[in-house]
């Protein structure tokens, strides 16, 4: 795996919210990330009100790679850039396990196809956006679009595979 150009530790805030559903009385989702978070050995309650509670659930590295600058650019071009939090399905204590934070929407998309993982998008804090923007400005190389050239049909080549 490539070495990241930059890495920043982010705290992940998960929210447990009461819901009206036939098979569940609550749901979990990531609602925020924050830079400068202490290592989280166990979930720590941050705030609680009737119907919901928020926890510092994990501290994970946001690793930024030269090969993902196109994804970072696409993210930063949106009115509200996002950080994506990938979580594994709930364990025995019902809590999902955050295992990855990324600023690349293309990487996040890879985790949305499985049934055991999901991705929540949360607002990108301003200091994180500034770091990502600086990395893109310093390292992004525009790749020109190249249309794939197709070879003309050769009946002899097609018959070899039949």
In the chain, the largest separation of any two C-alpha atoms, in whole Å, equals 73
Q: Bridge-partner residues for 56, per DSSP?
A: 13, 44
Confidence tier at 79 by pLDDT (50, 70, 90): very high
Digit-coded pLDDT (tens) for 88-108: 987 666 889 999 999 999 999
Q: Where are the beta strands (DSSP E) in the chain?
A: 6-18, 26-35, 44-49, 52-64, 82-88, 97-102, 117-123
Digit-coded pLDDT (tens) for 4-47: 888 999 999 999 888 787 787 788 899 999 998 888 778 999 99
Residue 16 lies in a domain: no
Confidence tier at 144 by pLDDT (50, 70, 90): low
Residue 87 lies in a domain: yes
Total structural domains in the chain?
Answer: 1
**Cα separation, 127 vs 136, whole angstroms:** 14
Residue 17 lies in a domain: no
Q: Bridge-partner residues for 141, per DSSP?
A: none
Containing structural domain, residue 86: 6-10+34-41+60-141
């Amino acid at each position: 795996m490539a070495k990241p150009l930059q890495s920043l530790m982010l705290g992940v805030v998960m929210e447990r919210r009461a819901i009206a559903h036939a098979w569940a009385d609550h749901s979990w989702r990531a609602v925020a990330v924050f830079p400068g978070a202490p290592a989280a050995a166990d979930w720590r309650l941050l705030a609680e009100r009737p119907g919901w509670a928020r926890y510092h659930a994990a501290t994970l590295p946001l690793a930024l790679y030269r090969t993902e600058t196109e994804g970072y650019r696409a993210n930063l071009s949106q009115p509200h850039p996002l950080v994506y939090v990938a979580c594994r399905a709930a364990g025995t204590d019902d809590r999902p396990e955050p295992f990855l934070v990324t600023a690349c929407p293309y990487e996040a998309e890879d985790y949305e196809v499985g049934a055991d993982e999901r991705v929540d998008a949360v607002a990108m804090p301003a200091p994180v956006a500034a770091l990502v923007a600086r990395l893109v400005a310093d390292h992004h190389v525009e790749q020109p679009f190249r249309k794939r050239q197709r070879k003309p049909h050769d009946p002899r080549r097609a018959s070899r595979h039949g």
